[in-house]
Chain A
Amino acid sequence: MATSEAAIKVRDVFHRFGAEGEQRFVRALADTSLDVAEGELLCLIGPSGCGKSTLLNIIGGLMTPSSGDVEVRGQPVRGPLPRDIAFVFQENSLFPWNTVLENIELGMTFQGVSKSERAARAAEVLAAVGLKEFAHHYPAQLSGGMRQRAALARALSLKTPILLMDEPFGALDEQTRMILGEDLSVLLAQSRKTIVFVTHSLGEAVFLADRVAVFSARPGSIKQVIAVDEPHPRRPEFATSAKFTALRNQLYRLLHDEIRKAVQQSSAADTARAGTERA
């Protein structure tokens, strides 16, 4: 597993929103510790609302945890680390007033990359994600899948050693995400980046990950970590193999109870909220 030096170290991270006693008080993340090795792809999977995005944002320096520490490549995280970490968000985060190409170049502009270098890198990543012909389209003119490819291209163009992906294909249909998953596996096998990938799809997790961390219901903490021992890039045949199915079933059993718990939790919260609103 974690054979080489850990690229990301998460130590006893706890996070809550709001102060105790307030209505919006939420314990989003229980004490969580986690190492991600250099070059590893780790999937986070868990019931919705269990704090996966929170953890990812904390790792990326977009939020400071209520307590606990995060180290990225040996340095404690104090804020965003644009040179080390690139994000792909679930929501469409392309700037709608820029074309695909402009979007990709803008990220590099923020980091002071020279103009010629920007053009070269943009061409490279556009080709890599297969969007060459759409360089001059606006995001509104693209399908959801193409938009996420563009967001991925933007993240790749920053040439960071670490990539944090928060349900990047969450809003896409099953078939599109299958194809994107296969392409991603190929791309990432070439780049050997360290990746943390949040997903709610069991299949996607098994197909992409070196290890899958299963979260418990809120306040989330890691319930179990499952290794997927299969070389990259993963072939489409892997998805139909017995090994894949077995791993997938194992994940399903682990998750099932947690998801039930989460659903009950949220409907209880809804009832409580409805009660206070009526009062």
Chain B
Amino acid sequence: MAMAAARRRSLLHGLARRPWLARLLVIAALLALWEVAARFLVDPLFLSPPSQVIMSLDKVFGTRGVPAALQLTLFELTVAFVLAVAIGLALGLVIGLQPLIRRSFFPIVLLLYCMPQVTILPLFILFFGIGAASKIAFGVTHGVFPVIVTVVAGVQNLKPILLVSARSMGASRWQMFRYVIFPHMVPSFFAGMRLGMSGVLLGVLLAELYVSVAGIGYFTTLFTQNFDPTKLLGLIGVLAAMAIVLNAVVRRAENHFARWRTE
């Protein structure tokens, strides 16, 4: 009795000191809830239990065309991300470093950034066709703005004393950029890359779902129309997990490059 109580107390104690353990429990509870709901409450045509989804992941990837579709989507994501970052960095530097350009074009960038781009999704398909190009383009236009905005911000809010001090030590214009402005911008650039990645994911997936003749979009539509929630959930789940992992990776990099800020 006493021992059981002690053990219980130590379990609670352990829980209190390990929030991640409690987090796992919360996730487990949600999964259990889902399991029960799917088994006993909801029509299996609409929802299947997580156990079944996980058990039949191999079937999803065994479906003809799914691996190729995933590969295609990943390819589109990668190309769009690289383009968005490169273009965003270049434009961000130009806008951030040139006062006249900044005053003229930064408001336009902000305006474009907060416009709902989905409205022009049909145009992208008309202009770029239903292949990878339109998805990449739509991903780029979603990903590029956060990169521009964070780069501009990173270039901007530099303490003037640092520039003055570099100048007093004889830094050339290039050295000023290379050793002062650029390193100051790096952490916000990484924050921008993370936001840009979310944007690219959103853009590419929106286009995928809209076109749905190839890639992931085709299969989500197919599984939905076949009332096959097991496969649908498996496919979506894998993509969601991928998004979480990618985001965590970039956040790591961001923290690494921003380590001078705190500590």
Q: List residues of chain A with CB under 8 Å of any chain B CB.
A: 60, 62, 80, 82-83, 85-87, 89, 91-93, 95-98, 106-107, 109-111, 138-141, 154, 158
Contact = CB atoms under 8 A, between A and B. Distances in A.
Given A82-B168, A107-B169, A111-B170, A93 B261 contact: no
Contacts of B175: 109-110
Interface stretch (B7-15, B70-78, B115-123, B157-165): B157-165
B170 A83 contact: yes
Interface of B: 159, 161-162, 164-172, 175, 179-180, 183-184, 186, 259-263
Which of B166, B184, B186, B261 has the most C-beta atoms of chain A within 10 angstroms of its own C-beta?
A: B166
Nearest to A154: B169
Contacts of A110: 166, 169-172, 175, 179
Given A93-B161, A138-B263, A140-B262, A82 B183 contact: no
A97 B186 contact: yes
A85 B262 contact: no
A62 B164 contact: yes
Contacts of A60: 168
B165 A96 contact: no
A106 B262 CA distance: 21
Nearest to B160: A91
Please give me the 3 A-B residue pairs with the lowest Cβ-Cβ distance, nearest first.
A82-B170, A93-B165, A97-B183
A91 B161 contact: yes
A236 B79 CA distance: 67
B contact face: mostly helix, strand, loop, or mixed: helix
A60 B175 CA distance: 20
Contact of B263 (A95, A98, A107, A140): A140
Which of B179, B262, B263 has the most C-beta atoms of chain A within 10 angstroms of its own C-beta?
A: B179
B25 to A, nearest CB: 37
A contact face: mostly helix, strand, loop, or mixed: loop
A109 to B, nearest CB: 7
A82 B175 CA distance: 14
Contact of A80 (B159, B168, B179, B259): B168
Contacts of B166: 110
A97 B259 CA distance: 8
A87 B183 contact: no
Given A86-B168, A111-B169, A93 B260 contact: no
A87 B161 CA distance: 11
A58 to B, nearest CB: 13
Given A95-B180, A109-B179, A140-B260, A89 B165 contact: yes
Nearest to A61: B168
Contacts of B263: 138, 140-141
25 contacts: A62-B164, A62-B167, A80-B170, A86-B168, A86-B169, A89-B164, A91-B159, A93-B161, A93-B165, A95-B162, A95-B179, A95-B180, A97-B260, A98-B183, A98-B260, A106-B169, A107-B169, A110-B170, A110-B172, A110-B179, A138-B260, A140-B260, A140-B261, A141-B263, A154-B169
Nearest to B163: A93
Contacts of B261: 96, 140
A60 B164 CA distance: 11
Contact of A89 (B161, B172, B179, B183): B161
Contacts of A107: 169
Contacts of A138: 259-260, 263
Contacts of A97: 183-184, 186, 260
Which of A91, A95, A141, A154 has the most C-beta atoms of chain B within 10 angstroms of its own C-beta?
A: A95
Nearest to B180: A95
A171 to B, nearest CB: 12
B7 to A, nearest CB: 43
A158 B183 contact: no
A87 B159 CA distance: 17
Which of B170, B172, B183, B263 has the most C-beta atoms of chain A within 10 angstroms of its own C-beta?
A: B170
Contacts of B159: 91
Contacts of A86: 168-169
Contacts of B161: 89, 91-93
Nearest to A108: B169
A74 to B, nearest CB: 20
B64 to A, nearest CB: 51
Contacts of A85: 168
B181 to A, nearest CB: 11
